[in-house]
């Protein structure tokens, strides 16, 4: 009843400890992150002096400056024009048609005059058609032509028409020819509204140098001024396309996270206000939503943690799970906050140096894989709150996905000592995460010649390497805190100068050498099946430590020629003395606070095997004696390592006592022993498979044969010895 009460009390204390630890963890998490998400009321106006240096809280586009650059780029685009040769041909056609009509009118007037003279007797009374009448006739002809062309002809003054009808046919032809030549030459070149007058003036200057009289020059000027028009029109659609292209080619002006917007004591101007508006820093009212979200995240974490802890078997493992998770997560959050302290304007990538794989890796190696995955996921969740000012930026996205990927890589590492997998760990913790960051940089369109991209990659590499070095360097010390069988402890216990080993050597030298041999055999066999080799070796060193109490009652410690003291004892008394070396050894090891595995090996190395020699002697005296009375109290070996030690211990002692042990005799003995132990059920609780048992058997046989093999008499050596003996007899 008392034992039950003790267990119940211990259980209640453990539950109370975990409850208090969880509550304290939740409060500390909230207090640590509270300052990052707590918002202050801010009101900033143009013209006021900045009370503090204000930095950008995220990386975002400065849409105002980007738009200004786009407008300037569009204005810098020259308007596009479309040149049309058809306009020049049309003007030439109009001139030719004009002079054709003029020729027709002149010919008709001439025919009419000649017809009237022919029909009139008084020829002197017939008057020629005047130039005014010819102009009227010409304008009537305009009515019969294309209406679109009439405006061209109506633009000529009457002076031109009157002057042209005063010319002879040859002069009219000259005016026509020179006019067409000038118009064709000038209209072959692009003419815009901006240079139309200068082209016409240039034509007028060229007309003055024509080898004709001034009247003809004036008429040609009329034609040139009327026929030379704009032949290159503005292409508004093309111009607009070019302007849009110029706008699109303008790279967005970015405000980078950490960039100084305005310095303390400097007046806030319009541009600074624009940046602060974009960043949402001009007017900000406190919001409770981030704090509520933080609280809910902590509650969710505690719920998941509580579920995983409660589904873990064994209160000791539950306490270890919760304690270690709490410590590692707090360390991770504190390191994140420390990075914020050192973050500067040019070091926005500093959060990438965070060793995101360390907490999940340690949880994976020392707790279990579920704890590792949980730590990796909640570490990412807390990073969103710690780096709250980056929320909504590409940097925050990069941090979150990188932390998640790196943490999951740590959760996938095999659960064995990191020192045994240095190469594989470097790939999981350094290479894969760095490649992932590189992929994310490509995804976000970062330019590799940009110093910010290079800084990002360097920071990621530093964080990964730092994680790797910490994992390798701190592993033995973390193991020392969590496990009683850490490498440091085992190395210390394996030192021959350890007080217990020195005492064993002095008081029971035979047992000492026996323990060393069993340690060598067991460690090699355990290593072959992938077990804890160093732990097995240390366990063997101390497995017979109980024999120091009655050292001379164990045959290996008897001096040469000494009689066995058991010859003077009853089998029952001998049994108790032999049995006591196990219980006494456990007491000694518990007093010395040895690792539990070492104590278990001592307690289990004989299992519940039968002490056959003394049982047979007792049976001779009393036939009612049962086997159970002469079996070790056990328990049977409960681990692979203890199972191997139990086999190696018996094999070494038996082979040592064997007369002329040969390889075949050793192999046969080991095989029979192992089969007997299997039939007796001594290996049922070890978890050893048949394949592993065969590997152990081969390892033990090889080790024993190399130590206790018989000397072979070679024929040549024997003949030489006989020859030497014969020579000595002849001399004598």
In this structure, the strands spanning 254-255 and 60-61 are: antiparallel
Query: Which CATH code is given to the segment(s) 488-708?
Result: 1.10.3210
Query: Does residue 223 contact residue 95 with C-beta atoms inside 8 Å?
Result: yes
Residue labelled with tokens 């029979």: 672
Q: H-helix or E-strand containing 283?
A: strand 283-284
Cβ of 557: how many Cβ atoms within 10 Å?
20
Q: What's the CA angle centered on 387, arms 385 and 390, to 5 degrees? A: 115
pTM of the model: 0.58
Both structure tokens of 493: 């216990």
Q: Alpha carbon of 249 to those of 66, 254, 442: distances in Å?
A: 11, 15, 20
Q: Does residue 294 surpass a pLDDT of 60?
A: yes
Q: Which residues pair with 631 in a beta bridge?
A: 610
Q: What is the mean pLDDT of residues 27-35?
A: 90
Which pLDDT value is given to residue 673?
92
Query: Does residue 105 contact residue 141 with C-beta atoms inside 8 Å?
Result: yes
pLDDT band at 539 (very low <50, low <70, confident <90, very high): very high
Can you give 364-409 as a three-state secondary structure string? HHHCCHHHHHHHHHHHHHHHHHHCHHHCCCHHHHHHHHHHHHHHHH
pLDDT band at 527 (very low <50, low <70, confident <90, very high): very high
Cβ of 362: how many Cβ atoms within 10 Å?
26
Q: 439 vs 346, which has greater pLDDT?
A: 439
pLDDT band at 713 (very low <50, low <70, confident <90, very high): very low
Which pLDDT value is given to residue 712?
40
Sequence-separated (6 or more) residues with CB below 8 Å from residue 536: 519, 522, 523, 526, 601, 641, 644, 645
Q: Compute the distance between CA of residue 309 and CA of residue 302 in angstroms, rounded to an integer.
A: 10
Query: Does residue 275 contact residue 62 with C-beta atoms inside 8 Å?
Result: yes
124: exposed, middle or buried (Cβ count in 10 Å: 0-12, 13-18, 19+): exposed
Q: What is the mean pLDDT of residues 467-494?
A: 80
CA nearest neighbour of 575 among 540, 606, 537: 606
Choose from 536-550, 553-567, 713-727 the range with maximum mean pLDDT: 536-550
What does the domain layout of the chain look like in residue ranges? 47-62+253-284, 81-234, 286-446, 488-708
Q: Compute the distance between CA of residue 513 and CA of residue 541 in angstroms, rounded to an integer.
A: 9
Query: Does residue 210 contact residue 178 with C-beta atoms inside 8 Å?
Result: yes
Give residue-wise pLDDT tens across range 576-606: 888 888 999 999 999 988 888 899 999 999 9
Which pLDDT value is given to residue 619?
82
Both structure tokens of 631: 């079996």
What's the mean per-residue pLDDT of the chain?
83
Sequence-separated (6 or more) residues with CB below 8 Å from residue 633: 579, 582, 583, 608
Q: What is the mean pLDDT of residues 360-368?
A: 90
Sequence-separated (6 or more) residues with CB below 8 Å from residue 134: 105, 106, 109, 161, 165
Tell me how long the chain is: 732
CA atoms within 13 Å, Cβ hemisphere of 667: 7
Q: Does residue 52 surpass a pLDDT of 90?
A: no
What is the rounded end-to-end Cα distance, in angstroms, of the chain? 89
CA nearest neighbour of 477 among 390, 365, 630: 365
Give residue-wise pLDDT tens across range 377-422: 999 999 988 888 777 667 788 888 999 999 999 999 988 878 778 8
Query: Does residue 700 contact residue 668 with C-beta atoms inside 8 Å?
Result: no
Cβ of 154: how many Cβ atoms within 10 Å?
9
Which pLDDT value is given to residue 302?
93
CA atoms within 13 Å, Cβ hemisphere of 102: 25
Q: Does residue 644 surpass a pLDDT of 70?
A: yes
């Amino acid at each position: 009843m008392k034992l039950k009460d003790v267990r119940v009390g211990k259980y209640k204390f453990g539950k109370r400890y975990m409850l208090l630890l969880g509550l304290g963890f939740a409060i500390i998490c909230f207090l640590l992150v509270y300052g990052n998400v707590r918002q202050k009321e801010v009101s900033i106006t143009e013209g006021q002096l900045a009370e503090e240096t204000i930095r950008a809280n995220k990386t975002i586009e400065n849409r105002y400056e980007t738009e200004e650059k786009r407008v300037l780029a569009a204005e810098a685009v020259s308007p596009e024009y479309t040149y049309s040769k058809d306009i020049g041909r049309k003007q030439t056609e109009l001139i030719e048609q004009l002079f054709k009509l003029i020729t027709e009118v002149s010919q008709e007037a001439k025919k009419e005059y000649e017809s009237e003279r022919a029909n009139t007797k008084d020829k002197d009374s017939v008057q020629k058609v005047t130039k005014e009448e010819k102009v009227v006739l010409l304008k009537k002809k305009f009515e019969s032509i294309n209406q679109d062309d009439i405006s061209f002809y109506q633009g000529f003054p009457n002076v031109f028409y009157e002057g042209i009808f005063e010319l002879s046919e040859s002069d009219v032809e000259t005016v026509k020819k020179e006019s067409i030549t000038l118009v064709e030459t000038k209209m072959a070149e692009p003419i815009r509204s901006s240079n139309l007058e200068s082209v016409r003036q240039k034509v007028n200057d060229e007309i003055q140098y024509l080898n004709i009289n001034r009247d003809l020059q004036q008429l040609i000027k009329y034609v040139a001024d009327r026929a030379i028009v704009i032949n290159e029109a503005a292409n508004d659609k093309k111009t607009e396309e070019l302007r849009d292209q110029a706008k699109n080619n303008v790279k967005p002006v970015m405000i980078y996270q950490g960039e100084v917007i305005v310095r303390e004591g400097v007046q806030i101007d319009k541009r600074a206000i624009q940046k602060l508006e974009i960043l949402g820093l001009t007017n900000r009212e406190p919001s409770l939503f981030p704090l509520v979200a933080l609280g809910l995240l902590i509650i969710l974490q505690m719920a998941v943690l509580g579920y995983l802890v409660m589904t873990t078997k064994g209160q000791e493992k539950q306490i270890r799970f919760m304690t270690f998770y709490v410590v590692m997560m707090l360390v991770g959050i504190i390191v994140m906050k420390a990075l914020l302290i050192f973050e500067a304007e040019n070091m926005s990538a500093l959060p990438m140096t965070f060793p995101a794989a360390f907490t999940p890796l340690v949880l994976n190696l020392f707790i279990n894989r579920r704890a590792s995955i949980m730590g990796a996921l909640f570490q990412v969740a807390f990073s969103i709150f710690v780096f709250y000012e980056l929320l909504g930026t590409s940097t925050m996205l990069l941090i979150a996905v990188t932390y998640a990927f790196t943490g999951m890589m740590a959760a996938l590492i095999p659960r064995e000592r990191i020192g045994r997998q240095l190469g594989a760990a470097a790939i999981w913790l350094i290479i894969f995460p760095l490649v992932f960051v590189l992929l994310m940089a490509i995804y976000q369109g970062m330019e590799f010649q940009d110093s910010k991209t290079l800084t990002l990659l360097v920071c990621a590499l530093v964080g990964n390497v730092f994680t790797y070095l910490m994992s390798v360097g701190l592993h033995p010390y973390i193991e020392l805190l969590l496990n009683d069988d850490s490498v440091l402890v085992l190395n210390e216990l394996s030192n021959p100068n350890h007080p217990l080993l020195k005492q064993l050597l002095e008081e029971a030298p035979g047992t000492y050498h026996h323990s060393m041999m069993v340690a060598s055999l067991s460690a090699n066999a355990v290593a072959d099946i992938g077990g804890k080799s160093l732990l097995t070796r240390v366990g063997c060193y101390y497995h017979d430590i109980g024999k120091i109490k009655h050292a001379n009652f164990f045959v290996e410690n008897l001096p040469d020629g000494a009689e066995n003291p058991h010859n003077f004892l009853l089998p029952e008394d001998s049994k108790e003395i032999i049995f006591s070396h196990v219980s006494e050894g456990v007491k000694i090891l518990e007093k010395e606070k040895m690792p539990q595995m070492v104590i278990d090996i001592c307690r289990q190395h004989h299992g519940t095997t039968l002490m056959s020699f003394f049982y047979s002697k007792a049976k001779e005296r009393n036939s009612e004696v049962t086997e159970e009375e002469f079996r070790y109290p056990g328990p049977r070996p409960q681990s692979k390592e203890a199972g191997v030690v139990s086999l190696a211990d018996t094999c070494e002692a038996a082979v040592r006592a064997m007369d002329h042990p040969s390889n075949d005799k050793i192999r046969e003995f080991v095989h029979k022993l192992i089969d007997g132990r299997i039939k007796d059920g001594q290996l049922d609780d070890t978890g050893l498979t048949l394949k592993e048992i065969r590997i152990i058997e081969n390892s033990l046989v090889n080790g024993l044969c190399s130590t206790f093999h018989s000397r072979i008499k070679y024929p040549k050596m024997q003949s030489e010895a006989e020859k030497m003996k014969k020579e000595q007899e002849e001399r004598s």
